[in-house]
Chains A and B, each alone.
Chain A
Amino acid sequence: MSLQIEASQAERDVSVDLTVAAGETLAVLGPNGAGKSTVLGMLAGLIRPDRGRATLGDEVLFDLPGAWLPPHRRGVALLAQDALLFPHLTVRANVAFGPRATGASRAEAASRADEWLRRTGTRAFADRRPSELSGGQAQRVAVARALAAEPSLLLLDEPLSALDVSVAAEVRGTLADVLTGRTTVLVTHDALDAYLLADRVAVMHDGRVVEEGPTRQVLERPRHPFTAELSGLTLLRGVRTAEGLRTDDGMQVRAGDAVAPAVGSPALAAVRPSAVRLVAPDDVAARSADASIPATVTALEPQADLVRVRTDRLDALVPPAVVADLRLHLGARVALHVPADAVTLYPA
């Protein structure tokens, strides 16, 4: 069933307009406090917008001021960061909760529960208490519970962020299996979730949707700095030149295959930090075909086994050894070498 929402809430300063086609997964990306969870709350019926309208298929979820469908009559299941399995019920009874609540007989609910436990690979835990499950097991049971309710719309609120990295991959696999063909809104701040689970993404910032489109297009050709930040890219804004792009403050980068706009027209460039090379500012031997861009280090952020070196120009993602060799510190001067294949150029 297709979903449409156009609503605003003054207290949280959230105002959105989103559409999800039937069977499609939309990822809502954005930093903390961007209003992503508020949107889910509105759809689930747990947060009441001041005004607006949402429809799911033919059903009007709300049309405010005026119509308001309570949560239990919406057919909208919500899966949160924590599994929130009912601690007083067995795993099977948890999954059977939705079917029972909507009128299925005891036997029918139990068989539906077993079917979903099987599909999420948790059948073996059916008779356990939630307190006897690991985080990943509990979250997979929560997926089963949400889907056993046969919702018309599934809402996922950072479903993997409370899990260890290895466990998250496993649960992500389970989700990828069950989301196919199911109308879903997935809130996340992880670009990987969007890549693997979503057909389209909407990027929120300060309570507004600032960018929306097919996942790859939005994440690989970001139009806003925070979208670039989410996918780990550095966004440059400037004018198309014969070789690449010149930013407003005069920095030049070369771009590879230039399918981008005509020379002289406004353009954007997304730069992959992992391809940017850092050298000492006076290192003549290191000079190459790439232009050498002088820069000043503004931050050093560990990222897995690499370090993101933020400068006043571009970010570079380098091994810790480079940071040590160049004796990088806040305010240190460096030279950036940007190979053409690290730059994607597209119209502004």
Chain B
Amino acid sequence: MIAGARLGVPRWILVVAAVGALFVLLPLVAMALRVDWAHFVPLITSPSSVDALLLSLRTSLVATAGCLVLGIPMAIVLARVPFAGQRVVRAIVLLPLVLPPVVGGLALLALYGRRGLLGGALDVAFSTPAVVIAQTFVALPFLVLSLEGALRSAGERYEAVAATLGARPSAVLFRVTLPLVLPAVVSGAILSFARALGEFGATLTFAGSLQGVTRTLPLEIYLQRETDPDAAVALSLVLVAVAIAVVAVAHGAGERVQPWRARRRSAISTARTAA
């Protein structure tokens, strides 16, 4: 039995919690009610919509890969290598999480832009790579944060055993450390993907809005809102559906990629029941 169920929580807590749930749900319901279902398919399959959707999926996937490549080593260093100024470094890494995306876009422009710090040596502004850079920039902290926490709570005991069995550090990483935190890697990657998919401010500032090149789905929705509100609502619903799917997958990820966890949990609860 759950402790909370026995002790009971104050009734008013349930009421406020229900209000909170409606606060999140009702706007989405309202939007779904405004969808012009008769023209739904034509609206979301117009050339500009399809361009935007495909561009969004492509760039978000590449950005997620970028987050994994950069974020896994960052999380490992933060969780496993003690060094001076670690807290400062962690705060900086997490900065894009709290930074207004427009500011992030301006910062990227200041570095990579034609008249940026790199002197236009890497002139990627207003191109598809710029979209990916902007998305990676804002999504990276999600992966680092969830993976660092998982690494810390997993501890180093299995890694120590692996080392004494003769495994070199790289082998320990690939055969023990990463498999053990795989659920966190997967859920972190899914969160990063979701954040990249929804990216708007940094993309618009740093990459602009060229159809098929930098105009991702959020940008397309914002643009359509002016000219064709019905299309904007229909496309929004597509994003909501993608977001719900992502959240569902992220929730289930832990169980699915790590079946032994589920089994162990059931073994423990069986033992408890028996006791």
| Known pairs A46-B160, A84-B157; A131 contacts B165 (CB<8 A) | no
Residues of chain A with a CB closer than 8 A to B222's CB? none
Residues of chain A with a CB closer than 8 A to B176's CB? 86
Contact between A76 and B164 (Cβ–Cβ < 8 Å)? yes
Tell me, rounded to whole Å, the shortest Cβ–Cβ distance linking A345 to chain B: 45
| Known pairs A45-B163, A87-B260, A88-B180; A101 contacts B168 (CB<8 A) | yes
| Known pairs A71-B160, A76-B164, A87-B180; A101 contacts B260 (CB<8 A) | no
Residues of chain B with a CB closer than 8 A to A72's CB? 163-169, 172
Contact between B263 and A149 (Cβ–Cβ < 8 Å)? no
Tell me, rounded to whole Å, the shortest Cβ–Cβ distance linking B66 to chain A: 26
Contact between B161 and A131 (Cβ–Cβ < 8 Å)? no
**Smallest Cβ-Cβ distance to B157: which chain A residue:** A84
| Known pairs A88-B258, A129-B260, A145-B165; A101 contacts B267 (CB<8 A) | no
Contact between B166 and A132 (Cβ–Cβ < 8 Å)? no
Contact between B264 and A131 (Cβ–Cβ < 8 Å)? yes
Contact between A129 and B263 (Cβ–Cβ < 8 Å)? yes
Mask, A297-318, CB within 8 Å of B = 1, is 0000000000000000000000
**Smallest Cβ-Cβ distance to B165: which chain A residue:** A98
* B223 interface residue per 8 A CB criterion: no
Q: What CA separation (Å) do A250 and B260 show in the bound complex? A: 65
Q: What CA separation (Å) do A238 and B37 show in the bound complex? A: 101
Tell me, rounded to whole Å, the shortest Cβ–Cβ distance linking A99 to chain B: 9
Mask, B161-186, CB within 8 Å of A = 1, is 11111111101100110011010000
Contact between B164 and A71 (Cβ–Cβ < 8 Å)? yes
Q: Which of B165, B260, B261, B263 has the most CB of A within 10 A?
A: B165
Contact between B165 and A97 (Cβ–Cβ < 8 Å)? yes
Q: On chain A, which size bracket covers the interface?
A: 20 to 34
Q: What CA separation (Å) do A73 and B182 show in the bound complex? A: 27
Residues of chain A with a CB closer than 8 A to B263's CB? 129, 131-132
Residues of chain B with a CB closer than 8 A to A151's CB? 164
**Smallest Cβ-Cβ distance to A46: which chain B residue:** B160
Residues B137-193 near A (CB distance < 8 A): 157-158, 160-169, 171-172, 175-176, 179-180, 182
| Known pairs A87-B260, A88-B258, A131-B263; A98 contacts B157 (CB<8 A) | no
Tell me, rounded to whole Å, the shortest Cβ–Cβ distance linking B144 to chain A: 23
Contact between B165 and A101 (Cβ–Cβ < 8 Å)? yes
Contact between B260 and A77 (Cβ–Cβ < 8 Å)? no
Contact between B180 and A84 (Cβ–Cβ < 8 Å)? no
**Smallest Cβ-Cβ distance to B261: which chain A residue:** A87
Q: What CA separation (Å) do A84 and B168 show in the bound complex? A: 18
* A161 interface residue per 8 A CB criterion: no
Contact between B164 and A78 (Cβ–Cβ < 8 Å)? yes
**Smallest Cβ-Cβ distance to A155: which chain B residue:** B164
Contact between A75 and B161 (Cβ–Cβ < 8 Å)? no
Q: What CA separation (Å) do A77 and B167 show in the bound complex? A: 11
| Known pairs A84-B157, A84-B158; A102 contacts B179 (CB<8 A) | no
**Smallest Cβ-Cβ distance to A90: which chain B residue:** B260
Residues of chain B with a CB closer than 8 A to A101's CB? 162, 165-168, 171, 175
* A146 interface residue per 8 A CB criterion: yes
Tell me, rounded to whole Å, the shortest Cβ–Cβ distance linking A107 to chain B: 18
* A181 interface residue per 8 A CB criterion: no
**Smallest Cβ-Cβ distance to A142: which chain B residue:** B161
Residues of chain A with a CB closer than 8 A to B166's CB? 72-73, 75, 98, 101-102, 149
Q: What CA separation (Å) do A260 and B264 show in the bound complex? A: 59
Contact between A131 and B158 (Cβ–Cβ < 8 Å)? no
Residues of chain A with a CB closer than 8 A to B260's CB? 87-88, 129-131
Residues A48-85 near B (CB distance < 8 A): 70-78, 80, 82, 84
**Smallest Cβ-Cβ distance to B263: which chain A residue:** A131
Contact between A149 and B258 (Cβ–Cβ < 8 Å)? no
* A44 interface residue per 8 A CB criterion: yes
Tell me, rounded to whole Å, the shortest Cβ–Cβ distance linking A290 to chain B: 48
Residues of chain B with a CB closer than 8 A to A146's CB? 165
| Known pairs A97-B175, A146-B165; A78 contacts B160 (CB<8 A) | yes
Residues of chain A with a CB closer than 8 A to B182's CB? 88
Contact between B167 and A97 (Cβ–Cβ < 8 Å)? yes
- Can you list 22 pairs linking A and B with CB atoms under 8 Å apart? A45-B163, A45-B164, A46-B164, A71-B164, A72-B172, A78-B160, A78-B161, A78-B164, A84-B158, A84-B161, A86-B158, A86-B176, A87-B260, A98-B166, A101-B162, A101-B167, A101-B171, A129-B260, A130-B260, A149-B164, A151-B164, A155-B164
Please name 11 further chain A to chain B contacts, defined as beta carbons within 8 Å, in addition to the given A74-B164, A97-B175, A149-B164, sorted by A numbering. Answer: A44-B164, A72-B169, A80-B157, A87-B260, A87-B261, A88-B179, A88-B260, A97-B167, A101-B162, A101-B165, A131-B260
A-B pairs with lowest CB-CB distance, top 6? A101-B167, A131-B264, A98-B165, A71-B163, A102-B166, A101-B166
